[in-house]
Amino acid sequence: MASIELESALLSNIKGKTVVITGAAGGIGMDIVRLYAYHGANVVVADLEHSRFAAESLIATLPDPSRAIFAQANTHIWSEMKKLFKTAINTFGSVGVVVANAGVMESHMTLDVETVDTNGDLEATEASKVIDVNVKGTLNTLRLGLHYMKDNKERFPGGSKGSIILVISTSGYVGGTGVAAYVSSKHAITGLLRSSQLVAAQHNIRVNAVAPFVTPTSMVGFAKQWTDSGLPSNTTQQVAKVIATLSQDPERKGACYLTCGPIIREMEFTQKALLGQWLGDDVVHLMASAGSLFESIGGYPLPNLEAMRS
């Protein structure tokens, strides 16, 4: 399968757009900020309050610091995320691009059934935080991005009103490392990518994703061993370029780009194309027929469960 060649000319479309980036004060987020700012975007650097100094130091190094602001926001706290988007709009007028980059990983194995806390309990408390940040935080970012973009004027080649990039991970497709909370959360974001397409299309907004393979950041404690092994070296700069380029591509809706060193592959469309080989043509027909049924009755009928009312 041929590697995707990024169209650098697409980056010229960034100029003048306002970009909200979560988890922007460190790791991959910093290079996402730098790249958008270099190409003339207004940038909202969103992160936790303890990252303020790092964020403001980053902003001071940008080509035009007056076109970037730091906005404190915890992605899984709805009120803080609402304030983030309102700040972006009050400052720059509108939001054209959102990059849902914020994410964390547990520091202890979630399924370690031998280790207990001081009370002798086995609850995986870190796992709950991972799910909160990675899943709820991404959902909040996606939902607010869709809400505020739906009233935009058409501003991209192709006529779309906005562009949202979800940062997944290859762990959202093939995670087998045993890091249960992180891998599960990234699979959930893959689900958000797929399930958001209907609403995004209704409002003429493009939602895509990038799935970086191992990238040396503060979450990677084996960078030296990785480099010494000779495995392809991903960089935060490359991930940022893939994200920025995909965000400006008017032809891409519902795509996910894997990126690792020289390797860039599209994951969503290729998976769909191989469904018949994977599960059989009868399953392809079944899925298509079910989709037609739901379309004919106005969408998937949602249940009214008592458990959701308690």
pLDDT for position 117: 73
* Other Cβ atoms closer than 10 A to 53: 10
Instruction: Compute the distance between CA of residue 91 and CA of residue 70 in angstroms, rounded to an integer.
Output: 11
At 142, the amino acid letter reads L
3-state DSSP assignment of residue 211: strand
**Can you tell me the mean pLDDT for 190-218?**
91
Tens-place pLDDT, residues 142-159: 999 999 999 999 988 889
How many Å is the Cα radius of gyration of the chain?
A: 20
Assigned token pair, 149: 């973009």
What is the percent of the chain with per-residue pLDDT over 70, rounded to a whole number? Answer: 95
Which stretches within 99-248 are classed as H helix? Answer: 125-131, 137-149, 171-174, 180-195, 197-202, 223-229, 236-247
Q: DSSP state, 170?
A: T
On whether the CB atoms of residues 224 and 203 are closer than 8 A, the answer is: no
pLDDT for position 113: 82
Assigned token pair, 274: 């191989």
> Please, what are the domains in the chain?
8-271 (3.40.50.720), 274-310 (no CATH)
Kindly report the pTM of this predicted structure: 0.93
Assigned token pair, 16: 């003048």
Tens-place pLDDT, residues 10-59: 999 999 999 999 999 999 999 999 999 999 999 999 999 999 999 999 99
Contacts of residue 66, defined as CB under 8 A and 6 or more positions apart, other chains included, come to: none
Tens-place pLDDT, residues 117-141: 777 777 888 999 999 999 999 999 9
Tens-place pLDDT, residues 237-268: 999 999 999 999 999 999 999 998 889 999 99
98, containing H or E segment: strand 97-100
Tell whether the model's pLDDT for residue 221 goes beyond 80.
Answer: no
Per the model's pLDDT, the better-predicted residue between 298 and 161 turns out to be: 161
